[in-house]
Amino acid sequence: MAPREIEDTPGKSTSFRHKYAARAKPSTKGAAARQAKTVDSKAPRVDKRIELRSPRIVKGNAPRRTVAAPLRSKVPAHDIRAGRRMPQSTALTNLANSQLSPTTPYLSYYDILLTADDIKALKYDWLTDNNIAFWEEWLEREILPKYPRARIVLLRPSMTFLLMQAVDVKSIGSALPNFSKVTHIFLPVNDNRDRELADGGSHWSLLLVSVIDRVAFHYDSLGGANFYEAQKCADRLSKVLGIVLRFHQLEDCPQQENSNDCGVFVCILMRHLLIKRLLNANANEKVSMSMANKVIDSHGGRKEMLKIIESLRKEGERRRSASPLASTHTPPRIE
């Protein structure tokens, strides 16, 4: 099947040989006003067709634990600058009246502990580190095992932050996953530039690195607002991998229509690229990394993620009630 092309300014085409095939059958965040920044006019463009090789899986991406970023109110940038506050929604008021503390454990899913604050964010607001970390954990547990030949790492937001903020990149090698046999790496990128503020920032974007092709693709739903951060992340990862990565800003990335769906776009794009472009590829096909004409339903994405969480929580409650040693003071657990 002929790959789709990325229509952009004419230039040298970029194509890659297709080496591996996953044939196996299925078995944080500165002022919100920074979201208004635009991509540098000199930013690298993807010229012609972007094609990648197929991946392999890497199990285990420890350490995975992250600290959920505080819930941020849905306030437009101009209101934030003016010091205005938006009224609290009825749903949030009802949740507060239920006496659920923001840090009340809601679901323990392997290495991720979701709190009531994370659930509120997933319903109405900017996604927290924990929301994205949960999604990556779920993809690793439910999707990747069906493709045992793949070698893919879904790096947690906390690890991306560590990579971005470490004074000496080489000193954090032991804290990162082993990339020696990895073909592709997904990295959620945040625009927090303050290493003292682990819960800062206001925008998420996605960096997909093809190690075997030595190229980093940046998907940004806000017109390139995270261009600087993504390029820095790619440069630092290059030093960890010991290779030079070419950086490409995907200008046809679907764009969000509000100020708080960036994290949802990251999660949906991550799953689409993982399954449709990498895992389902075979040796006879070239893989286009263009996202032209891809429609993102952010509201539907939130509902789907919440449905998955509620289903897992229900199963966790069932297991807890069936265990004579389980405590009702602990959150529903899946492990």
Instruction: For 197-231, write each residue's pLDDT tens digit.
Output: 767 799 999 999 999 999 999 999 999 999 999 99
For the entire predicted model, the pTM comes to 0.73
Confidence of residue 103 (pLDDT cuts 50, 70, 90): confident
Radius of gyration of the chain (CA): 20
pLDDT at residue 173, rounded to an integer = 87
Give the pLDDT score at 73: 34
What confidence score (pLDDT) does residue 84 get? 33
- Is residue 239 one of the residues assigned to a domain? yes
188-215 as b/e: b if 16+ CB within 10 A: bbbbbbeeeebebbbbbbbbbbbbbbeb
User: Are the beta carbons of 220 and 296 closer than 8 angstroms?
Assistant: no
Beta bridge partners of 216: 209, 247
CATH number of residue 263's parent domain: 3.40.395.10
On the question of pLDDT at 91 being above 50, the answer is no
Q: Is residue 283 scored above 50 in pLDDT?
A: yes
Which has the closest alpha carbon to 192: 182, 200, 204, 184?
A: 200
Summarize the confidence of residues 192-196 as an average pLDDT. Answer: 82
Q: Considering the domain boundaries, does residue 86 fall inside one?
A: no
pLDDT single digits (tens) 17-62: 333 334 334 444 444 444 444 334 344 444 444 566 554 433 334 3
Confirm whether 142 is domain-assigned.
yes
Does residue 312 form part of some domain?
Answer: yes
Tell me the two tokens of residue 305: 């993620």
Quickly list H helices, the chain: 77-81, 90-97, 116-124, 129-142, 157-165, 227-241, 262-272, 298-322
In 3D space, the residue among 312, 321, 273, 278 whose CA is nearest the CA of residue 137 turns out to be 312
Kindly report whether the peptide bond that precedes residue 145 is cis, defined as omega within 30 degrees of 0: no
User: How many CB atoms lie under 10 A from the CB of residue 37?
Assistant: 16
Whether 169 is in a domain gets the answer: yes
Q: Could you tell me the pLDDT band of residue 290, with boundaries at 50, 70 and 90?
A: very high
Domain assignment of residue 254, given as a range: 32-64+96-322
Whether the per-residue pLDDT at 97 is higher than 80: the answer is no
Query: Is the Cβ–Cβ distance between 226 and 58 less than 8 Å?
Result: no
- Counting the structural domains of the chain, the total is 1
Q: Say if 73 falls within a structural domain.
A: no
The single residue listed with the structure tokens 């800062």 is 200
Residue 5, domain member (yes or no): no
Residue 274 lies in a domain: yes
pLDDT grade, residue 66 (50/70/90)? very low
Enter the tokens of residue 181: 């046999």
